[in-house]
Amino acid sequence: MRTPIQSKRPRMSPAIRRREEHLRSVPLMKENRISLSGRVSLYLMLGIFCLLALRNLAAGKVIQPKGLFIVAAGFVLFAISKFRIITRKKLINLGTKQMNESGANLYRVGYWLMGLGVLIIFLG
């Protein structure tokens, strides 16, 4: 016996029902996943920037010393995320496996800021 709410819903074919169930099971956003072309582009740009920074470093040029503040901000975020793990009496840890989500995000952003700061220092 159907309830009044169920009787108002149109009937679906089994194929449409399976498709709807599949769409409900797939997450809408796949966080921290970059497509293959995006990864290749990022790695190429990062490689080019690193080569340019190394060239300036070898020549003894520091184009933007203010980039050190970005490196320092990144290090502070990195240190905060590591300090949270150390307070749990886990002195040695690598990566984000033992961190909660916010700590892992601080860790990643800290590394990105440190890398960005180094590139800004030597690229300008």
Per-residue pLDDT tens over the stretch 71-119:
889 999 988 888 888 787 776 677 777 778 888 888 888 989 988 888 8
Token code pair at residue 95: 């990566």
CA angle 35-41-43, nearest 5°?
100
From residue 79, alpha-carbon distances to 22, 24, 94, 120 in Å are: 41, 39, 13, 21
- Position 118 scores a pLDDT of 83
Contact 117, 77 (CB under 8 A): no
As given in the structure block, the two tokens for residue 82 are 């590591």
pLDDT > 90: percent of the chain:
2
Is a pLDDT exceeding 70 seen at residue 9?
no
pTM across the whole model: 0.53
pLDDT for 7 equals 54
Task: Report how far residue 81's alpha carbon sits from residue 100's, in angstroms, rounded to the nearest whole number.
Answer: 9
**Cα angle vertex 90, ends 112, 76, to 5°?**
30
Section 43-54 average pLDDT:
81
